[in-house]
Amino acid sequence: SEDPSVTLFREYLKIDTVHPKPDYDAAVRFLERVGTDLGLASQKVEVCQGRVVLVLTWQGTNPRLRSILLNSHTDVVPVFEEHWTYPPFEAVKDSQGNIYARGAQDMKCVSIQYLEAIRRLKAEGKSFSRTIHLTFVPDEEVGGHKGMEMFVQRPEFRALNVGFALDEGLASPSDTFSVFYGEKSPWWIKVKCVGSPGHGSRFISNTAAEKLHKVINSFLTFRESEKQRLKSDSSLTLGDVTSLNLTMLEG
């Protein structure tokens, strides 16, 4: 028979919170039900139309102290279902105990682990001085602009009186666990090259294409040097170098 924590995890994985139209209502209903069963206080903050942050709270014995924030996002990225062995929203578990689903790693596992850890501690009769808040936020996979970015500006967030937060990390193929103490900053650059017109039969001077050529070369040279830097030093990880990708060309 299956561990009830695993069953709950699989139940959450079956909720279709996939972009571009995540079923956030179903996720919030499910998580609120689990939280209420655990005796946690529940609060919903609609940061903008249709975007609700669910806050579940286990009150500490000294509520004046700063709290522990356990954050997770409820949305997941899209799938190309034809490339999946099992349907990505059925949470199939194979004979080795591998559970297949979009969100199994990123990051529905963590949401349920937070809740199940609290279930265990409560069952053991534990209580702690600091309050623990769980926040379940929408929109992380599209930049968090209608999720955490707005929520941190709300009075309801300030009222949580956060001292320390946990949020998602990444899987690690080895025995070690990856622990992230900072993150890279995304930087979207748009370069516009303008040049002189003229008849296509001539060697027009000062063309946009020549300028673009220089820009692309310099980007790709930098990209290659960062790639080699990562490759040549085994102590470096992807977070230690600057990655660069040219994703769109228009004109």
Task: Specify the residue, 215 or 241, whose C-beta has the smaller distance to another protein.
Answer: 241
Q: Is 23 marked within a binding site?
A: no
Q: Is 2 marked within a binding site?
A: no
What Cα–Cα distance (Å) separates residue 190 from each residue in 57, 142, 187, 223? 43, 19, 10, 16
Minimum separation from the CB atom of position 184 to another protein (A): 6
Task: Specify the residue, 43 or 207, whose C-beta has the smaller distance to another protein.
Answer: 43
CA angle 49, 50, 53 (to 5 degrees): 105
CB 106 within 8 A of CB 116: no
Minimum separation from the CB atom of position 244 to another protein (A): 13
What is the spatial distance between Cα 228 and Cα 222, in angstroms, rounded to a whole number?
10
The residue annotated as part of the active site, out of 32, 75, 116, 139, is: 75
Q: Is 73 marked within a binding site?
A: yes
The residue annotated as part of the active site, out of 37, 46, 140, 149, is: 140
Minimum separation from the CB atom of position 186 to another protein (A): 5
81 in active site: no
What secondary structure letter does DSSP report for 65? S
Task: Specify the residue, 152 or 220, whose C-beta has the smaller distance to another protein.
Answer: 152
Question: Which residues fall within 8 angstroms of residue 136, CB to CB, at 6 or more apart?
Answer: 27, 28, 31, 53, 54, 55, 56, 72, 73, 74, 111
Minimum separation from the CB atom of position 174 to another protein (A): 7
What is the spatial distance between Cα 156 and Cα 52, in angstroms, rounded to a whole number?
12
Task: Specify the residue, 164 or 203, whose C-beta has the smaller distance to another protein.
Answer: 164
Exposed/middle/buried for residue 142 (C-beta within 10 Å: 0-12, 13-18, 19+): middle
37 in active site: no
Q: Is 233 marked within a binding site?
A: no
> Could you give the residue numbers annotated as active site?
75, 140
Annotated binding site for Zn(2+): 73, 106, 141, 168
Annotated binding site: 73, 106, 141, 168
